[in-house]
Chain A
Amino acid sequence: MAAVPAALKPVRSVGAWVLDAVRRAGAMALFGLRGVAAWASPPWFFDQFGRQLLSVGYFSLPVVGLTAVFTGAALALNIYTGGGRFNAEQIMPQIVALGITRELGPVLAALMLAGRVSAAMAAEIGAMRATEQIDAMQTLSTDPFRYLIAPRLLAAVLTLPVLTAVADIIGIAGGWVVATRTLNFNATVYVRNTWDFLEQWDVVSGLIKAGVFGFIVALSGCYHGYNSSGGAQGVGRATTHAVVTAAVLIFATDYLMTSVFSR
């Protein structure tokens, strides 16, 4: 390779980093497509799908619920304080509902799942890779993409919108509790203001976001676990990368989807 002048070395480093990032993004996208394609034809492993529904959905309810209730409560306090600066405290219920359904419900539920589910998937699949269990599966005529990856992707895509719907209700309830117990809002008026102001699209757009985030959460965990190497240390690295990648992609796609939905 021709020598690179010293002044251009930083450019070369940036170029190499960009190329590597593009290569990884492409590999991850192909991995996701292969996981989706695995649902197109049998065999389907419904028992694995059911197990993942429980693991991703049911067992994530407590952490998503707790996050939502505190976020709703804190949001109510902040909006009340901010609204008070221009005598607009009364719009607090509407803003809490809008903020929760369009943005905070899906994003926070997804981030909680990135921490809980992406990490668990990366660790479990990474450990299977390190101990040759994935190789063993192939020698037993079973495609790991059908048995391990596809059920996780579909379970996350289907359960995160449900978790988000639950987070929306609990988050709005958190705001309601703070508003009625500490800020002297009328309980019935608060609910009516929330209900009257909310549009169907506010909720639906949040649930669409949640479905996309669910795919990202499972894809990141599966991809990094499946491609891990280097034993226990590699599994640890895969877990970290899974959570970080999922979180960054959630924020990036959230902005993209919000900009599309806001037109």
Chain B
Amino acid sequence: MAAATPRLEWRAVHKTFGGPPVLAGFTLSVDPGRSLVIVGASGSGKSVAVKIAAGLIEPDAGEILFDGRPVQGLNDRERRRLARRFGMLFQGSALFDSLTVWENVAFRLINADHIPRKAAKERALAALERVRMARQFAGLYPAELSGGMKKRVGLARAVIGDPDIIFFDEPTSGLDPITSRAINTLIGEQVKGLGCTAVTITHDLASARMVGDEVAMLEGGVVVWRGPASALDRSGNPFVDQFVRGDVEGPIKSMV
């Protein structure tokens, strides 16, 4: 039986920002409906890999394929159309300061899909309810929210367009363990509810175990291990073992 076409694939991607390569032949794929977590030390290139996939950074070499089709070389209109199939939750939530909570959530509906504001607001309020945000917060501005609430709003904004794939960039960074768990639970609910593909980058192993079907370990710009999330503690891979134990000594140079 022929293997299914991956939803997203990085093929031999290279990226350098004037120094040593951040990605050096990075190759990875995720199948439709699966949740892939990319872990790695700080500065290992996780965020760059995801931003390249989301079309925010151009790779120096290599290919990104979405449903088997390369995404490089698209014109602006094609790129915007492709972006409608993506959702992204940013590390700092990246909410628009000048807009209220519901306007942030409805941003895509109003500005890209040109849905009337009243209808967009109703859908935004429903999305906020799905991430357990009460209606009373809908009129507040991002500066008036806590870190956990901002993540919920960012999550509602990422899922409101029913995307085929959602990127989560460090979804629990800066949050306490209880809020982190709540956010991870919400992510799991939303991804399963939409039946979409998810790519999460994190160095929080509790998050990786909770939201991931599979985990890939990134080090030195390449994938050094890939396996089920349940196998993280018995991978037998020296990079993963060092990362799981938090050892200073080991093959991961960036932690020394």
B146 contacts the other chain (Cβ, under 8 Å)? no
| CB <8 Å contact, A142 and B107 | yes
Chain B residues within an 8 Å CB radius of A135: 51, 54, 56, 90, 94
B54 lies within 8 A of A139 (CB)? yes
User: What 1/0 flags go to A121-143 for Cβ under 8 Å of B?
Assistant: 00000011001110111111111
In this complex, how many residues of chain A approach chain B with their Cβ under 8 Å: the count is: 17
| Interface hits, A103-160 → B, CB 8 Å | 127-128, 131-133, 135-143, 147
Listed residue (A45, A141, A142) with the most chain B CB atoms within 10 angstroms of its CB: A141
Cβ-based interface call for A43 (8 A): yes
CA distance A133 to B108 in the complex (A): 13
Instruction: Verify A136–B80 contact, CB threshold 8 A.
Output: no
Q: B110 to chain A: closest CB distance in Å?
A: 9
CA distance A136 to B108 in the complex (A): 10
Q: Which residues of B contact A138 (CB under 8 A)?
A: 54-56, 83
Query: Are B111's CB and A147's CB within 8 A?
Result: yes
With contacts A132-B91, A132-B94, A133-B96 taken as known, whether A139 is within 8 angstroms of B86 at the C-beta atoms is yes
Chain B interface size band reads 20 to 34
Is B92 close to A, CB under 8 A? yes
Whole-angstrom distance between the alpha carbons of A131 and B113 in the complex?
24
**B8-51 toward A: CB 8 Å interface, digit per residue (1/0)?**
00000000000000000000000000000000000000000001
Interface centre among A45, A135, A139 (most CB of B within 10 A): A139
- A140 and B83 CA atoms in complex are apart in Å by 7
B111: contacting residue among A132, A133, A139, A140, CB under 8 A:
A140
Contact between A136 and B111, CB atoms less than 8 A apart = no
For residue B160, which residue of chain A has the nearest CB? A140
Q: Which of chain A's residues have a CB closer than 8 A to the CB of B161?
A: 140-141
B59-83 interface bits toward A, Cβ cutoff 8 Å, 1 = contact, 0 = none: 0000000000000000010001101
Q: Flag whether B112 is at the interface (Cβ < 8 A).
A: yes
List A residues 39-58 near B (Cβ within 8 Å): 43, 45
B171 touches A (CB below 8 Å): no
Q: Which residue of chain A has its CB nearest to the CB of B114?
A: A43
Residues of chain A within 8 A of B148, CB atoms compared: none
Complex interface residues of chain A between 42 and 101 (CB less than 8 A to chain B): 43, 45
A136/B76 in contact, CB under 8 A? no
A142:B111 contact, CB within 8 angstroms = yes
- Once A43-B111, A132-B92, A147-B111 are accepted as A-B contacts, the answer to whether A139 and B83 lie under 8 Å apart by CB is yes
B96 — nearest CB in chain A belongs to which residue?
Answer: A133
Query: For residue A136, which residues in chain B have a CB less than 8 angstroms away from its CB?
Result: 88, 90, 94-96, 157
Partner of B90, one of A132, A142, A147: A132
**Could you tell me the distance in whole angstroms from the C-beta of A27 to the nearest C-beta in chain B?**
16
CB pairs A–B below 8 angstroms (24 shown): A128-B96, A131-B92, A132-B92, A132-B94, A133-B95, A135-B56, A135-B90, A136-B88, A136-B90, A136-B94, A137-B107, A138-B83, A140-B83, A140-B107, A140-B112, A140-B157, A141-B83, A141-B84, A141-B111, A141-B112, A141-B113, A142-B107, A142-B111, A143-B76
- Give me the interface of A with B, judged by CB distance under 8 Å: 43, 45, 127-128, 131-133, 135-143, 147
